[in-house]
Amino acid sequence: MSIGGALVAGEDTRSGGPAGGLGVRCEGVVHLYKTFGGHDVVALRGVDLVIAPGERVAFLGPSGSGKSTLLTLLGGIQKPSAGRIFLGDEEISRMGERYLARIRSRSVSTMLQGATRNLLPYATGRQNIAFARLALSSSERRDAMLDTELLGRVGLEEQADQVVSTMSGGQRQRLALACSVATAPRLLLADEPTSQLSHEDRDHVLHLIHSLGDDFGTTIVVVTHQPEVAATFPRTVTMKGGRVGAEGRHGSEYAVVGEDGVLHLPGHVAAEWPPGTLVKFEDDDQGRLIITRSSGEGAGL
């Protein structure tokens, strides 16, 4: 199944070509949450990241490493405490709420974790799609793909007039995806879009997400804990302690050098080399850097 065909024949698609994806650039992004207890939680500690237009990226990393926070900042739902975020040429980290709202309703769609957070529970499938398109101009709405057709593409033609609260988890997730793409976004951000789904629903949702990239060149970023989902993305970005710790590209893993030359070890190495382990750096005769664990324990060599 494909989402192919113009979802919205707006300014980006009038030329007949695909709208194309939106590039993303983060420079030193820091984010703090203020808590009721009066102390700050540092969710992001300096994220530098570039995502090219049309790229498909999976964010990985342990719970609490900052994946969802970064996604909401990219989607213009929250503003960073410090640092800069660009979508295409526009710096969203300095934008006023009015402009951000425009970007959120047109060029960027964020699917929050849990389908129901993205949907009106007592409205039907069709009404949810109409709601997602509220901010479009009347001509854009007139030219948009018919809601029946869009629902058909996510396999929900028979649920068009069914109320969300009576739908299954998989049906809700597919409807949330249909609502997210109803405005033909150039950047799709999805937080755990396939968690708690059956294998069949997971594969269906994944296929739909990738179809969007294939058909429109949409830039796609998903947060996932599922390795089998991450494996379908050509690039992975692994968050560690509020920073980008590692990247995977086409099956190869790379550590990312952070502030002050800090390097996160790959998970399997970190498991064997606890904090305090001494490591030695040596150049070999072919110009490669060899890193070995010292045979001595702790500070004593």
Ligand X SMILES: Nc1ncnc2c1ncn2[C@@H]1O[C@H](COP(=O)(O)OP(=O)(O)OP(=O)(O)O)[C@@H](O)[C@H]1O
35 binds ligand X (CB under 6 A): yes
CB-nearer residue toward ligand X: 156 or 230: 230
Q: How many Å apart are CA 156 and CA 128, to the nearest integer?
A: 13
Give the nearest distance from C-beta 72 to ligand X in angstroms. 8
For ligand X, the binding residue among 1, 17, 33, 52 (CB under 6 A) is 33
Q: Which stretch binds ligand X (CB under 6 A): 64-72, 79-87, 125-133, 272-280?
A: 64-72
69 binds ligand X (CB under 6 A): yes
CB-nearer residue toward ligand X: 32 or 278: 32
Q: How many Å apart are CA 59 and CA 67, to the nearest integer?
A: 6
Give the nearest distance from C-beta 132 to ligand X in angstroms. 24
Give the nearest distance from C-beta 30 to ligand X in angstroms. 12
CB-nearer residue toward ligand X: 216 or 233: 233
Label residue 276 exposed, middle or buried (CB < 10 Å: 0-12, 13-18, 19+): exposed
68 binds ligand X (CB under 6 A): yes
Per CB under 6 A, contacts with ligand X among 40-59 are 41, 43
64 binds ligand X (CB under 6 A): yes
Q: How many Å apart are CA 73 and CA 201, to the nearest integer?
A: 28
15 binds ligand X (CB under 6 A): no
For ligand X, the binding residue among 65, 124, 159, 194 (CB under 6 A) is 65
Specify the DSSP class assigned to residue 163.
Answer: B
Q: Site map for ligand X, 223-242, x if CB under 6 A?
A: ----------------x---
Question: Among 285, 265, 283, which residue's Cα sits nearest to residue 274?
Answer: 265
Two structure tokens written together for 105: 């309703």
Specify the DSSP class assigned to residue 73.
Answer: H
Which H/E stretch holds residue 111? Answer: strand 108-111
Q: How many Å apart are CA 51 and CA 24, to the nearest integer?
A: 5
Residue 5 Cα distances to 1, 65, 138, 199, 268, angstroms: 12, 37, 20, 27, 44
Give the nearest distance from C-beta 92 to ligand X in angstroms. 18
Q: Which stretch binds ligand X (CB under 6 A): 13-21, 66-74, 164-172, 276-284?
A: 66-74
CB 265 within 8 A of CB 255: yes
Q: How many residues does the chain have?
A: 301
- The amino acid at residue 185 is P
Q: Which stretch binds ligand X (CB under 6 A): 61-69, 149-157, 196-204, 261-269?
A: 61-69
Binding site for ligand X (CB under 6 A): 33, 35, 41, 43, 61, 63-69, 239
